[in-house]
Copies of this chain bind each other. A is one copy, B any other.
Amino acid sequence: MLQQLSAEELPKVEKEIIDFITNYTTHNELKKSMLYSIEAGGKRIRPLIVLATVRAFQKEITLPVYQTAGALEMIHTYSLIHDDLPAMDNDDLRRGQPTNHKVFGDALAILAGDGLLTSAFQLISETTLSATENVLLIQLLAKAAGIGGMVAGQAGDMTAEKRHVSLTELKTIHHGKTGALLTYAFVAGGILANQTEYVLERLEKLGAHIGLAFQIRDDLLDIVGTTEELGKQVGQDEKSEKSTYPALLGLEGAHQALTDELSQAEMIIQQLAETAEFQPQIFTELLTLFALEK
């Protein structure tokens, strides 16, 4: 079900992003740089969550859904480009390919990131939804991606290197760095499916658990995964003395924390299933993406 959604609908999200960039960019190298990172692929987990949420509430997936999902993927992609820069994580490899700045240089990578970030808001502003819905989707995206969300998480992640942080602090960093955008994916899906405030709150909680699960899994894979499997260099966290779940809780403790987050997510899915028009199956499938073993 999720597999089918991914195969049939994600290409339409990608098309919205690529068409937008191609139509609006007036600078050719900038366009190439943005498209390079967009077309590098990845699991498209954030747009997939938007689509899955709309589908779970048995609503039709319309153009504004593709556009909102596309805007979210633009934000995610910009954050990867900037995060990989030498001044930040200094990564050479991303999704099995050279990082943006390795191909286009640091300056164009910075501008490609700035361009994708700005484009995300323009893309949502141009949907055929009501102005009220557009403003809400823009506002929540800016909050999730901004100085109380992802950007703050990135700053926290950076300043947490080479010093001990508490589990509480680590959770705050992860909530910003990864959780905020994943939460947005669920909530935006709920808004696009015309759900009530009560349901949107459940989706927000679900996103928070999934966000932590995602980050714990990512931390674990940096230890137990391989460069070939992941398409990026492993062992980087230990090398940079980064604070991670395994560093704080040990391997077993981190595995347990991952299991706990996924159990709590499962409970929320069961709560949502009490809402008549919600079909839990696609969300249950979604959870398997965040487990360590497939």
Contact = CB atoms under 8 A, between A and B. Distances in A.
How many residues of A sit at the interface, in one of the four size bands?
Answer: 35 or more
A25 B29 CA distance: 34
Copies in the complex: 2
A158 to B, nearest CB: 5
A105 B88 CA distance: 10
B151 A125 contact: no
A113 B27 CA distance: 21
Contact of A110 (B21, B87, B105, B176): B87
B122 A110 contact: no
B146 A115 contact: yes
Interface in A113-140: 113-115, 117-119, 121-122, 125-126, 130-132, 134-135, 138-139
A276 B122 CA distance: 34
A28 B154 CA distance: 13
A118 B130 CA distance: 22
Contact of A111 (B30, B34, B126, B151): B151
B106 A156 contact: no
B147 A30 contact: yes
15 contacts: A27-B147, A27-B155, A30-B152, A87-B107, A114-B117, A115-B147, A115-B151, A117-B118, A118-B147, A122-B139, A125-B142, A126-B139, A131-B134, A135-B138, A138-B138
The 7 closest A-B pairs by CB, nearest first: A87-B106, A122-B142, A131-B131, A125-B139, A118-B146, A30-B155, A115-B147
Given A24-B143, A85-B87, A110-B110, 14 more contacts: A25-B148, A25-B152, A26-B148, A26-B172, A30-B152, A87-B106, A88-B107, A114-B151, A115-B146, A121-B121, A121-B142, A131-B134, A135-B138, A138-B138
Interface of A: 21, 24-27, 29-31, 34, 78, 82, 85, 87-88, 105-108, 110-111, 113-115, 117-119, 121-122, 125-126, 130-132, 134-135, 138-139, 142-143, 145-148, 151-152, 154-156, 158-159, 172, 176
